[in-house]
Structure 1
Amino acid sequence: MKPFLSFATLLLFISSSVMAQTTKNDIKNQFKNKSLTEVKEYLERQNKEIEKLIRLSSTSLKITPGDVDLKEVKTTEKFDNSPKEQIIKQFNKTLDRLYFSPQVVYPNTDLNINYSAGSLVYSAKDYDDYKFPEPVLKLKKVYFQDGKTSNFDKEIHGRNDKTTDEIKGTKWIDSIELEASYHYPEAMPVITLSPEKPLQQFTDGKIQLISVNDGKANLKVSPAVKEKIMKVEGINSAGKSIEQYGSSSSSNSSNFSVEFLAQYYEAGKSVIEKIDKSAYKDVDELTEDLYSKIPKEDKNKPENLVNATYNFRGNITQINVFLKPEQSAINNYRFVLQNSIKYPDGFGVAYNKNELAGILDKDGKWIVQPVHDRLSHYKGNYFMGEVADDGYRTVLWLDKANRKLVPFNYRFYRDESIFDKYYAIEDGINGPKGLIDIKTNKVLIEPTLNNIVVKGNYIVLRDHNETNTIINKDLKKVLTVEGYNYKINDDFIFISKPYTSKEKFADYSVLSNIDDIYNAEGKKINKEDYVIETFDFFGIDSLLLVKNKLGKKLFINTKGDVVIDGSKYKDVRPFSSGLAPVKNAEGNWGYINSKNVLVIPFMYNEAKNFSKISAMVQTNKGYQLIDHNNNVIKKFDDGFRSYSVKKDADNLTYYNYNGNTYNSQGEIHKGDR
């Protein structure tokens, strides 16, 4: 396209080489059949467009980030230019987290998988920059609850409004095997640029480091190369990668130099002035004059490069430029998803083509016909139906024998079952409480109570007078307790009461509370009055630390017999995970086992309770974790502000003054750093 053929050619940045090739015939053809007046109007319009181009050629388009305080240097991990393993790991991790909740729309089943290709792509950082084809997910096998399987090779779309992942049949599905196919990049080229090696040439352009100072790297890059840049990494003098916080770019707005455009403008202006003076006898003469005045070559033509600046949180000495990989490979990943829907005794909600719900059995046959506008499984043999007048959904019980749903006249007090045998119910919202049998829907305890709660191996029934009736798993009464001065652990009930004897209890100068201990038969097992450690109970060692009225600390067993006399030690603490801390007359701590054998010698300034792994102890040199054989697991330079004391714990937690939180292995908790 020649420069005089259209005003738009100038604004579309036609190349100066084409303008330089303009011939007199081009101009003659453009002015053909035009009068001198018409040519003048044409040249005036063209000069206005050239003026616009001159202004544009004197500016550039730029986006610039703000400055950063170079004193706050921030390093980061070096960029991995071979991210295959990272992408595969992240994709597979995301795929393993998928779930499916199949919905039967008779006579077929919608798998209803929570999958989308977009979410998978988003899960791997910068993956969408590669512009790879979308991942493909295929259903390969279905495992049914009756033990049978079916093979498939069917593409799955997941959360897609236009596609339903449907398979034939209504049998309940246990799990599905899927195969995901996705691209990953081969290792990407990396170009290192520094003041000593500032230039890299390519077949389609170049990249040149102009300067690197004040945390900024200034580059000139060919547009084709700029499109290939994946990441620019700044490296400091110590070889560390410095965190990038922004970038800017600018480009020339014209492929012509201002001088070249100005010559075109002056040529047109001169011809216009001569037309006004009637200096031309005809258009041919004008053409000869104009052609003699226009420039034939743009000697100062700007190089078509992008100016790019990358800012870093610290001074850098070189940069690594990572280019997008030109090749990719495909990874195929097979995995299995478990059905997230539970089918109590093989029954589940299904729909017909009219979107009405019923219940199917494990063979895919209707046990309750699809006549409900709304139906969903609640728990056990209970289902949720339509919304009632009170604004809550109705509760229905599945009567399997008569193949029907029966309205449930109560509300559930709590969702969780009690010992997998009962449900707590209430008569109306916040009404009186009772118990029903899970299997039969029969009311076992009428709803007349103020509260029902599970503690240890018991159910506690509280009436409106705050009298607690403690019953066992078979609903047999064990004990009645007034008020709140009791606690339960497993089979044992501890009842606290005031010590009313005139005799002073140990070294207390005022009356003290004591605890009576009752077993599963409701029998009191303590043979004298005791004070019990607040958080102690019969643990895996079946030993409980108590103090009698003489001030002696004793360990009793579950029959109430004293098996260890702790008064022989200066101090003792409860058993935990097989060992109890004991203190000798010299003030040193060690540990005894349940047979009262000293298994860890008196050598510590302080000794805490054991978990299944370790215990925290203190020496003259500081704190350390030891195992059950007194081997040191970890030593600490700083002390601890607090720690957990849970009995028989798998793991304990220790809060150090250095700000870290440690577990029983001496490891820092995730998230603390």
Structure 2
Amino acid sequence: MIKYIALSISILLIVSCNGQQNQESNCLNNTLKIKEDNILLTSIEAFTLSESKTFLEDQYNSIETLINFSEANLEFSLTSGEAMNEEEPKFSDSFYQLLPKDSLEGKLHTFFNTMYLRQEIQYPDSYLQIPFDRYDLDVKLIKDFWEEDKNLPRFNINTIFYGDKTRVKDTTSFQKDSYRSLATQIPSSKPMDSIEVQVLYTYPTIKEVILAQKETKTELPDGSIVTAAISGNTVSLQYPNTMHEKIVAVEGIHETDNYLVSSGSSGSTRPTEEMITYLKCFNTTLKTAIDKIENKEMDTNEVLRNFLLQNVSEAPENDQLRLQRFQFSGTVKKAKVYIQTGISEEINKSLVLKRSEHDQKATNGYYLAIDKKTQKQGLVDETGAWAIRPEYEDLRMMNDYYYSGLYNDDYNQLYWLNTRANRLERVSYELDEVKIYSDKLVNIEKETNGPEGIINAKTGSMVIPMKYDYIRPQEGFFITDLNNKEGLYDKNGKNILPEVFNNISVKDDMIYTSKETDDSYDEKDIYSLKGVSIKKGTWNNYDESFGKDGLLLVKYNYKKNNVHYYDYIGFINKKGKRVINVQKYEQVAPFSNGLAAVKNKKDKLWGYINTTGKVVIPFQYSEAKAFQERYGYVVKNKEALLIDRNNKVFKKLPDTFSSASLPLDSNEAVYHLYSGETYDADGNVVKDKESK
């Protein structure tokens, strides 16, 4: 029992004494003595002299242990940095950075302007949430500062803008809801469009201190920070414990000036030198008192009490020193210490936060809501009143017209929103896609991977029968497949082409088709959007599509002696009329950016024609590829060249290409040369991913 009390008093002497500054180094000579109510004196009042002696001995031993530990701990911190046995240091891409005020506030402006609002209608209230992920902010110092709740920005609502174009003033404040969001609740179930909020925030002001040598000392308003040692992978620092919360970060810097990855830190506190001196003097006094009791020079507690009252001084202020060690994944040349010196003035910013596009909200005036009392779900209208009573569970919005949920303990089911009757109706099909086409059309299927059709989701009427293997929407039309044959419907459900084609595509306001023939080649055709063929019987194949020049290269495929041949016919326009005859050429390529490469029969050389059929770049090249916006790739005398539209050489490439990407009507060509280099359409060297 006595030992327990002694240990408690040892702590109290250090922690709880009324501190005084500027004490003399010799505590026995200090005239500022302890008072009558000092815990040391009041504790021995209940003891016998023998118990007091035991008490003082325990006190003496406890303080002696504390002194020895503190001095050993300091010595360890000063000398314990050891080099790591790593072959390569590890460098970090994430490091603290002090930014000029304008740059810092610019990043904060961008951060706040990316925020948005989420509304969950909990009838008759609404739960509002602002996703607030400080890790989206590319300023590490502020991210760490805002980690403490007391430093978080405050969001206060000014005005609520509802979906029905009304607005109300409000003063509700958001509170931290989770690690990555702020939230509040308001007494309204009306669907919102946006809110105007006032944001009040601060950020820390930081001082950067570079410590490069042992025993470097930097004086700061709250004390001094000392580099106790930089050795190997370890930085040891000593500073007043009151500064510990203000040390924002310590970074180790390699001799290459790269920032090292942190591998941990550890620390402890110890009394100041002034307190150590006091404790040594105090223990000397205790030892003297113990000896006097043993030598019978003190025979009562009262004599002991008077001795202590006359010879023990008040303890100095109990400031403690922090000894902190930081380890890094590599040898440290210098340390960078970031110290918070203050906080900025509060900044007041007004923001309008739009409701999230991903919220479960419909464009037809119905909004998903949950009844706060029954926890059942339904749909409210723009006034916040129930349009569909809350009778469902796990109700999820699939699109504006379809919802998935449970009703009366029924298994999860698909419901169609009948807007004319204001009710959810169970349907006997599934959604193949949730996307809505032409504001009303939805792709449905009888069952998973079953026959597909198209329904008018506004009226619930079938537009395309639910009998097809698949339906592919394209350019406002629907390509259907039945038994590996494709057909085409328009958005009104009109069958434009029957299911007799191998392939159908819609682009450039035309319909392109291909169909198998008995001669084992595909016969191609082109139709207007009304399903009228533009083929005049002179061709059955084509290359590419009309493109931006509105000209299409057509040819005639045929089979002779079991060998397939084709003859070039010419270029046609979208009415099917041949406007350029190319039968005199041996080879022809489609138009690209107003020019088409052609090869003559006489010299077997390539040139280019324009959209009138005139040769504008003469036949002098062994190769000629699709012309880009400014230059075309050609080969002459085994040299690869980029030429302009006037046949002037822009650049000679170091080699011909081994492979190339040559999109028509673009400037996106890429040439991969045999020499290993890659060039773009304008003759610039493109670096491969491996070389970046």
Q: TM-score band, normalised by the shorter chain?
A: 0.7 to 0.9
Match of residue 181, structure 1, among 170, 186, 200: 200
1:154 aligns with 2:154: no
Deviations 1:80-133 (A, max 9, x none): 434645554454444434333434455x552633335x7589775232544663
Deviations 1:244-282 (A, max 9, x none): 534645445445799987887788678768867x75572
Match of residue 226, structure 2, among 202, 208, 211: 208
Q: Partners in 1 of 2:216 and 2:621 — Cα distance? A: 64
1:133 aligns with 2:151: yes
1:636-651 equivalences under 5 Å are 645-648=662-665
Partner residue in 1 for 2:352: 336
Q: Partners in 2 of 1:303 and 1:176 — Cα distance? A: 50
Match of residue 119, structure 2, among 93, 96, 102: 102
Percent sequence identity over aligned pairs: 24
Of stretches 363-372 and 440-449 in structure 1, the one that deviates more from structure 2 is 363-372
Partner residue in 2 for 1:7: 7
Q: Partners in 2 of 1:353 and 1:303 — Cα distance? A: 55
Deviations 1:438-460 (A, max 9, x none): 33211244433333233455423
Q: Is the 8 A contact 1:221 1:305 kept in 2?
A: yes
Q: Tell me the CA shift for residue 328 of structure 1.
A: 0.8
1:246-257 equivalences under 5 Å are 246=263, 248=265, 250-251=267-268, 253-255=270-272
Q: How many residues get paired?
A: 645
The one-letter amino acid of 1:98's match is M
1:166 aligns with 2:183: no
Deviations 1:591-634 (A, max 9, x none): 655344667889999776577x7778589999999999999999
1:204-603 equivalences under 5 Å are 204-209=222-227, 214=232, 217-232=235-250, 240=257, 242-243=259-260, 245-246=262-263, 248=265, 250-251=267-268, 253-255=270-272, 279-280=296-297, 282-283=299-300, 287=304, 305-309=321-325, 319-339=335-355, 340=357, 341-350=360-369, 354-355=373-374, 356-362=376-382, 366-372=386-392, 375-386=395-406, 391-400=411-420, 402-456=421-475, 458-463=477-482, 465-482=483-500, 485-490=502-507, 491-498=510-517, 500=519, 513-520=521-528, 521-523=531-533, 525=535, 527-533=537-543, 536-548=544-556, 549-552=565-568, 554-565=570-581, 572-576=588-592, 578-580=594-596, 593-596=610-613
Secondary structure at 1:102 match in 2: strand
Question: CA distance change for structure 1 residues 352 and 288 in 2, over 3 Å: closer, same or farther?
Answer: closer
Partner residue in 2 for 1:191: 209
Q: Tell me the CA shift for residue 395 of structure 1.
A: 0.9
Question: CA distance change for structure 1 residues 44 and 309 in 2, over 3 Å: closer, same or farther?
Answer: closer
Question: CA distance change for structure 1 residues 349 and 530 in 2, over 3 Å: closer, same or farther?
Answer: same
Partner residue in 1 for 2:560: none
Partner residue in 2 for 1:507: none
Q: Tell me the CA shift for residue 519 of structure 1.
A: 0.4
The one-letter amino acid of 2:348's match is N
Of stretches 320-329 and 24-33 in structure 1, the one that deviates more from structure 2 is 24-33
Q: Partners in 2 of 1:403 and 1:664 — Cα distance? A: 60
Deviations 1:408-455 (A, max 9, x none): 332223222344453232234443333322332112444333332334
Q: Is the 8 A contact 1:383 1:398 kept in 2?
A: no
Question: CA distance change for structure 1 residues 138 and 203 in 2, over 3 Å: closer, same or farther?
Answer: closer
Q: Tell me the CA shift for residue 143 of structure 1.
A: 3.1
Deviations 1:54-92 (A, max 9, x none): 552354387989837586585869854346455544544
The Cα RMSD (Å) is 5.6
Q: Which has the higher strand share?
A: 2
Deviations 1:357-387 (A, max 9, x none): 4444445555444555565543343344425
Q: Partners in 2 of 1:261 and 1:32 — Cα distance? A: 23
Q: Partners in 2 of 1:214 and 1:635 — Cα distance? A: 55
Q: Is the 8 A contact 2:452 2:470 kept in 1?
A: yes
The one-letter amino acid of 1:175's match is S
Q: Is the 8 A contact 2:134 2:143 kept in 1?
A: no
Question: CA distance change for structure 1 residues 241 and 83 in 2, over 3 Å: closer, same or farther?
Answer: farther
Query: What are structure 1's unaligned runs of at least 5 residues?
Result: 501-511
Question: CA distance change for structure 1 residues 36 and 404 in 2, over 3 Å: closer, same or farther?
Answer: closer
Q: Partners in 2 of 1:119 and 1:365 — Cα distance? A: 36
